[in-house]
Structures are given as C-alpha cells and as structure tokens.
Structure 1
Amino acid sequence: MSTRNHRLDRAKGILIFTVVLGHLLARAAPWDSDVLRAPMYLIYSFHMPAFIFLAGITAKSNRLPERILSFLVLLATVLPLMWGWLWVFDLSPDFAFLTPFWYSWFLLAMAWWMVTVPFIERFPRAALVTSVMTGIFGALLPAFDNELSAVRTLVFWPFFVIGKLYGQRLLDWAGGLTVWRRIILTVAAVSVTGYFYVIKLDNDWFYGNHKFVHFDVSVPEGVGIRLILDLGASLMTLALLAWVGNRESLLATVGRHSLSVYVLHGFVVRALEPVLAGSLEVYGPLVILGICVVLAVLATWLLAWGPFDRALRWYARTVTELLLRPFAPVRPTKGVSPGHGARNTGDAPR
C-alpha cells in the first residue's frame, strides 16, 4: 500500500491552478476592478508562500548539487525561450540581465533556498531565527531590489525554513482538525485577506520584491505590514491544508506534475495576452473571471499531462548530469544508489 501523502499533492494541485489563474487574470488588468481585485487578493495573499512552504517539506540535502543545478538549468532554458516567444507575439520582454523575468524568479529563488538546506538541517534554531529576521527586514537591503531575486528570496525564506523544519507536523495537524476548527481557521484567514481588500493595500506588497522605500512607508510601518502579510499567508496555507483531503485524485496528479505546469504555463499565458488585454472594458469583470477560470482549468489540466512532466524532468536531469560530469572524480558517491538521480527534480518548482 502506498504511503504517499496525497494531501500535499492535492494542495500543490490547487496552488498551481491559482498560479495559472492569477497570471491569466493579470493580463486583463484586474487590480482596476473591484470585482476582480477580490480573487486576486485571495490568490496573491498566499499562493507563493504556500508553495514555498510545501517546497520546504520536500527539500533534502542529498544530491544537493544536482537539485540546485536543475533549477538553474530550467531558469537558463526558460529565459531565452520566453524572450523569443514574446518577440513572436510582439510583446516586450522587459529584459534585464540580473533580474529573472516574470515568474522565472521562483526558479532562482529555489536554488538559493536549496543552498541553505544543510544550514537548516545542521542549525535548525539559528536558521529559523535568521530566516524570520531576514523575512521581516530583508526589504531594507540597500544594495538589492529585483536583482537576482534577492529581496524575494529573503522575504519568503521563512516559509521554506518552517516547511523544512515543521511542515510535516503542520500538515498532519491541519488534516486532523475538526470541521468547526477548520471553519474557524478559514474565517480567520479570509478575514485577514478581506482586510487587505478593504484598505486597498498596494498589490505590490504581495510580490515581496520591493523595498519599503518603494511604498513610501517608514520602517515600523513596513515591518508591521510585512508581519500582517505573513500572518495572512500562514493562516491561508493552513486553511488550505485543512480542507484538501488525503486521497488519490486528478487534483493530486496535477500536484505531482506541477513542475511542467509551472514552467510551461507562462508561454500559454503570454500567448493569450493580446486577447485578454483590454477585454475587461468590453466584457465586464464577471465574464472575464469566468473565461479566465475556464482557461486556467484547461491549461492546468493539459500542461499536467504526464509526458510533458516526464520530458521536462528528463531534460533538466540530463543537462544537469552533463554539466556535473567533469566534476565526477572529485565528488563523493557514498550513499548514492543507482537510479536515484531519476527523481532528483522531485523538489523542483511547485
């Protein structure tokens, strides 16, 4: 009997759907609509912190060079392909050499976070304290902004560390809550998100890639907002884990194949951008929301097709092995079993 935790897979399935939906909605300028701002606030208030938390659960220090390099291989592949893709559709790539383009920031950030896994395993308390401090004050860095995903990496690092240290226990705890406790948890989580909506919080806060000076707020105010954002993201993540259930399903399959969905969905979204841009003024928010939901369901289902996922993982694994081959004589091999590398991208972007 399989002991795989389907709750984890199902949560990833829901989250990758929200990634696709959020990016589709973003092409229709949703922040200008009171109706579309509601689902956008709901999605962006937690979906990336939740993904990062789940990535922490599955992060391991064995075969670390392969795991880190696989993210960099995907990043180095996605960027030129995306720039060419945008040229085909006459869209601006907004290129900057040190700044990962659009959604590719997550691939670089995952490489950074994976570098810290041995530190987290060796010094868990120090890693927890350090990550929380950098998560709160990372936006004060004077030298970096979007370059090398530095600010985002620091701001969201606590979710990775907490996932690595306590994720499985929190996953089990959330799954064991009674219905009434799940309802209370959900109401608390949605209330925080609702507060953001009511005060019309600048949506740039959700991306975690700007320093406090960008928002023209004082350090105490910026720290306070960051803490509330992290609280809301944590509550929403736990609420999601409490409701997803632990059984095999199509949703769980999508979660297991979320690597291919994440990497490939950007090409689908940008291909649809000429159609979605300006559509809000023509069709209205509810129609656009319905269209984007349908498109997100179809794109997520199609890109989660097994051959896509296997091909992408094979590509990342093969290129990684070729790049590391010259270093084979000086690399330790103890504890590495034959064929283990076949799943070395299992913690790849989710």
Structure 2
Amino acid sequence: MTPVATTSATATAVRSPADSPAAGGTSQARPAGRGGSRAKNEATADTKADAKAKPRDAFFDNAKYLAIVLVAMGHSWEPLRDGSRSAAALYITVYAFHMPAFIIISGYFSRSFDMRKDRLQRLITGVAVPYILFEVAYTLFKRWADDDPGYPISLTDPWYLTWFLAALFIWRLTTPLWKIVRWPVPLALAIAVLASISPDIGDDLDLQRVLQFLPFFVIGLSLRPEHFKLVRRKKARILAVPVFAAALVFAYWAAPRMNAAWFYHRDAAQELAAPWWSGAVMTLAMFGCSLVLVACFFAWIPGRTMWCTALGAGTLYGYLLHGFLAKGSRFWNWYDSPWMHTPWGAVVLTIVAGTVITLLCTPPVQRIFRWAMEPKMTWAFKKDPVGMARSRN
C-alpha cells in the first residue's frame, strides 16, 4: 500500500493538469473580416490572462509535504507491525487517512479538468508517461534486487506505488461525468460499496483501488475553498486532538484483531476471507472514519509559508523514488537486524524515513528526474492551430 498526491502540472501527484490553462485557451479562430477584430481582442485578452500565474496556496503545499512524509513513515513501519503493537497502531491510524487526504486534494485540483487539448496533453505527460516509465523501472529493479529475472513487465498490473498514477489517470478522465450528475458523492460511494463485494473485478489497473478510493476523489471535486476554511478554525484544531487520540487508542485495540489489508482497498471482502456483506459495512465505516481523520489532519496544517512549503511541489518525486528504497529494504533484508525492532530502532527508522523523503522532494532531485516526471514531449502532439494563430496575432 502506498501511498499518496501534485502541484506542478507533472511534478506532483495532486495537481490537476487543468490548473493552469495553456496560452490560447479554447477560443475558436475566426476568419478575417466581420468578427475578426473581436476574435483578435479575445485572443489577446486570453493570452494576457493565461500569462498571469496562479498564486500557490501554502496550505496545500504544506499538506502534500506532510502527507508524503507520513507515506514514507508508514512504509518504514510495515515490517515492524508483527513485533510491535504500537507500530501496528500507528500504521493503521496513518493508513486510515494519508491516502484519502492525497486523493481529496487530487480531486480538488482536478475541478477544472475537461477534455481541452492542452489539459489532455498534461494528463498524458504528467500522469500516463510517469506511470509507464516507473512501472518499467520498478519491474527491472525487482528483477535485479529480488533476484527474480522472470518477473514480467505489465502495464495493466501496477506494481507497488504506480497504482496511484493509474487511478489518477482514470479519475481525471471521469471528472466531466461527475460534474453533471446530481448526487456525485453518494453515487461514487455506492460504486465503492459494490466494488468491495465484487471479487471478480480482478487486478487489471488495480481497479479495486480505483473504485474503492473513488469517493474521496469525487469529494475533492465537490469541495470549495470555504470548506477547507471550516476545518482550519481554532475550534477544529482543538477538537482534532481528542479525535486523533481516540483513533490511536482504537487502533491499538484493533491491531491484533483486524486485517490491515482493509485499509489498502485492493481486495473485495471475499478475497479477505470475510462474508460478502462485510465489504459494504467496512467500506462505509472506513469511509466515515477516514473523512473525520482527514479533517483533523487538515485542521493541523499551517497555512503560512514555511521551510517545507516549497517541497510540496515535489511530492510525486518523493513518492515514486522512495519506493526503490522501501522495497530494497525488504529485498536486502535490512530489517533482519534485531536492533531495528527495538523502540530506539523504530524511532531512528522513522526519522530516517522522514529525512529521506524530504530530500527526495527537493529542487535538485526534481531537476535530475524532471525528464521522467515532467517530460514536455511537444514532438508527440499535433500543433494547435488556434494557438499558432494567436501567436501570429
């Protein structure tokens, strides 16, 4: 289980390809003569408007950075769960909300997505291309590091962290549909419930995760800035303390009794050796719990610019790159040392995980791997005649 989401068109997992429209917009070119002046004026106005960059919101950058840190920490705790009930409780608590938080932000920044040419291009270069590149890279890494030369490359069966990119691609393509239905969130939740009791869906493109996490993306599409302001009030920050404390206590109780695979949302109930009806119950119960914890998480996110704010633009880098270390630590038996399973070992491991993911989000790392995360690929797309006409004008 991952992850977790981008602010640059391709550099982060939660920014929509529709956030900053390309110069030229979607206005139709008009022939010279009657209406030609109007078209020219409209094109000039659109170009000037597009030239104004949208100001970044420090709140979302901070949220993305802190969420990706929790993703890395959660992965570092996974091998410790069997020998430590406390580690298992922390793991369950974090997994209850870190991916829903990422997905909600992804949906929020996808609100303006439509089938416009420039936005589809950014969807391809910012989501589909990194998915293909890292699916191949992860497979080759597994063949080498896990001494498994026969492990196949399959673009329909995401391995480890790449499922989120496949899901994000599908969710964004469906965005226009969610904008026209009357009750999008209840409909998405009904789809998630049906998926949780349908073991025949299979593993292609991790469709179970795509469908079971879908309600969080649709909620993000439905949110407005004022909704985030509600959870950022002082009263909400105070209430979040006992709520999180109660969640940790419950997780400590549930750790030896509950299958953590429920939090991954990658299987139907029957595949977890549970009765079919429990899929519906668990989906609804976990949806409610996740929403509450996401609200608490957002309540604690600073809204001011901090030392880590700029790192929010590099969360996709940290997300995808740390997977090699997370999996490598298992392949190379780093957790075999008894010291790693002591309280001090767990603390040091947590600090190391947070430090590594922070470094992987920094600008130097972004510059090195931009070719894979943010390929321009202008050669792959037809030229936009409207944009060319505007540049000539």
- TM interval, shorter chain, is 0.7 to 0.9
Of 231, 237, 240, the residue aligned with 1:182 is 237
CA contact (8 A) 1:64 1:114 kept: no
Who is 1:347 aligned against? none
SS in 2 for 1:250: coil
Q: Distance in 2 between matches of 1:196 and 1:8?
A: 27
CA contact (8 A) 1:186 1:235 kept: no
1:237 Cα offset (Å): 0.9
Does 2:91 match 1:40?
yes
SS in 1 for 2:349: helix
Who is 2:133 aligned against? 77
1:186 Cα offset (Å): 3.8
Of 146, 152, 162, the residue aligned with 2:203 is 146
CA RMSD of aligned residues (A): 2.8
1:233 Cα offset (Å): 1.2
Q: Distance in 2 between matches of 1:21 and 1:335?
A: 48
Q: Distance in 1 between matches of 2:350 and 2:364?
A: 24
Write out per-residue CA displacement over residues 184-216 of structure 1, whole angstroms, 9 at most, x where no aligned residue: 234234424543441332000010000010223
Alignment identity in percent? Answer: 21
1:49 Cα offset (Å): 0.8
CA contact (8 A) 2:199 2:269 kept: no
Q: Distance in 1 between matches of 2:93 and 2:62?
A: 18
Who is 1:118 aligned against? 176
Who is 1:15 aligned against? 67
Q: Distance in 1 between matches of 2:162 and 2:324?
A: 12
Mark the runs of 5 or more structure 1 residues left unpaired by the alignment.
Answer: 339-350
Mark the runs of 5 or more structure 2 residues left unpaired by the alignment.
Answer: 1-53
CA shift in 2, pair 1:283/1:144, >3 Å = same
Q: Distance in 1 between matches of 2:289 and 2:342?
A: 25
Q: Distance in 2 between matches of 1:36 and 1:314?
A: 37
Q: Distance in 2 between matches of 1:99 and 1:20?
A: 22
CA shift in 2, pair 1:212/1:321, >3 Å = farther
Of 273, 279, 290, the residue aligned with 1:216 is 273
Who is 1:298 aligned against? 355
Who is 2:38 aligned against? none
CA shift in 2, pair 1:29/1:284, >3 Å = closer
CA shift in 2, pair 1:142/1:301, >3 Å = closer
CA shift in 2, pair 1:282/1:321, >3 Å = same
Which segment drifts farther, 182-191 or 107-116? Answer: 182-191
Write out per-residue CA displacement over residues 158-206 of structure 1, whole angstroms, 9 at most, x where no aligned residue: 111111111533211111242xx42323423442454344133200001
Q: Distance in 2 between matches of 1:337 and 1:254?
A: 35
CA contact (8 A) 1:53 1:167 kept: no
CA contact (8 A) 1:46 1:237 kept: yes
Q: Distance in 2 between matches of 1:223 and 1:335?
A: 52
SS in 2 for 1:100: coil
Residue identity in the other structure for 1:10: N
Q: Distance in 1 between matches of 2:141 and 2:211?
A: 30
1:314 Cα offset (Å): 4.6
Q: Distance in 2 between matches of 1:225 and 1:195?
A: 15
CA contact (8 A) 2:188 2:215 kept: yes
Q: Distance in 2 between matches of 1:336 and 1:35?
A: 63
CA contact (8 A) 2:100 2:216 kept: yes
SS in 1 for 2:200: coil
Write out per-residue CA displacement over residues 123-146 of structure 1, whole angstroms, 9 at most, x where no aligned residue: 153432321111222222343233
Write out per-residue CA displacement over residues 43-96 of structure 1, whole angstroms, 9 at most, x where no aligned residue: 111111111011111113153322331312111111221222233323559657
CA contact (8 A) 2:318 2:360 kept: yes
Q: Distance in 2 between matches of 1:333 and 1:32?
A: 62
Residue identity in the other structure for 1:129: P
Comparing both structures, which one devotes a greater share of its residues to helix?
1
CA shift in 2, pair 1:288/1:166, >3 Å = same
Write out per-residue CA displacement over residues 240-296 of structure 1, whole angstroms, 9 at most, x where no aligned residue: 1111111111222222211111121112223333243323x4443412321221211
Q: Distance in 1 between matches of 2:265 and 2:237?
A: 28
Does 2:109 match 1:58?
yes
CA contact (8 A) 1:78 1:263 kept: yes
CA shift in 2, pair 1:156/1:186, >3 Å = farther
Who is 2:3 aligned against? none
TM-score (norm 1): 0.84
1:100 Cα offset (Å): 0.3
Residue identity in the other structure for 2:238: I
Of 161, 167, 173, the residue aligned with 1:103 is 161
Who is 2:334 aligned against? 276
1:221 Cα offset (Å): 2.4
Q: Distance in 2 between matches of 1:73 and 1:116?
A: 19
- Higher-RCO chain (CA-CA 8 Å, sequence separation at least 6): 1
